[in-house]
């Protein structure tokens, strides 16, 4: 099966899960993480949303900013960069620096173990 097509199927499955009212947040997180680790900008963006809202994970602006920043550099420029900037407005300078460092490390590790 073609990798791009598999990713498209995974995105469709993730969208379906997120739309379902009874969907398990931890399952959504695992699906988004799997996409993000493949370098998929939508999966990375979705992780940013999950961290920003505290859905499936403990709410954390540093990780939200990190994933939005990574998603923006992976191709989701409009939504990710806008949400990154909104998140940055409620963060300290030190938190932003930490998020940027974490993003650099995550990219260096090719999105694994972030």
Q: All domains of the chain, ordered by start, with CATH?
A: 3-108 (1.25.40)
Assess contact for 34 and 11: CB atoms under 8 A.
no
Question: How far is 56 from 75, CA to CA, in rounded Å?
Answer: 24
Q: Per-residue pLDDT tens for 54-95?
A: 998 999 999 999 999 999 999 986 789 999 999 999 999 999
**For the chain, how far is it from start to end, CA to CA, in angstroms?**
27
Residue 11 pLDDT > 80, yes or no?
no
- Structure tokens of 48? 């940013």
**By mean pLDDT, which of 41-50, 77-86, 96-105 is the weakest?**
77-86
104 to each of 3, 12, 24, 66, how far by Cα in Å? Answer: 25, 28, 30, 9
Task: Kindly report the pTM of this predicted structure.
Answer: 0.81
Question: How far is 56 from 73, CA to CA, in rounded Å?
Answer: 24
């Amino acid at each position: 099966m073609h990798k791009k097509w598999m990713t498209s199927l995974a995105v469709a499955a993730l969208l379906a899960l997120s739309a379902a009212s009874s969907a398990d947040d931890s399952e959504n997180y695992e699906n988004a993480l799997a996409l993000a680790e493949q370098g998929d900008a939508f999966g990375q963006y979705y992780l940013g949303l999950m961290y920003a809202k505290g859905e499936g994970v403990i709410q954390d602006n540093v990780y939200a900013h990190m994933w939005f920043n990574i998603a923006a550099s992976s191709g989701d420029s409009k939504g990710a960069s806008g949400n990154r900037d909104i998140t940055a407005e409620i963060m300290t300078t030190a938190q932003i620096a930490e998020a940027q460092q974490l993003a650099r490390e995550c990219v260096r590790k090719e999105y694994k173990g972030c």
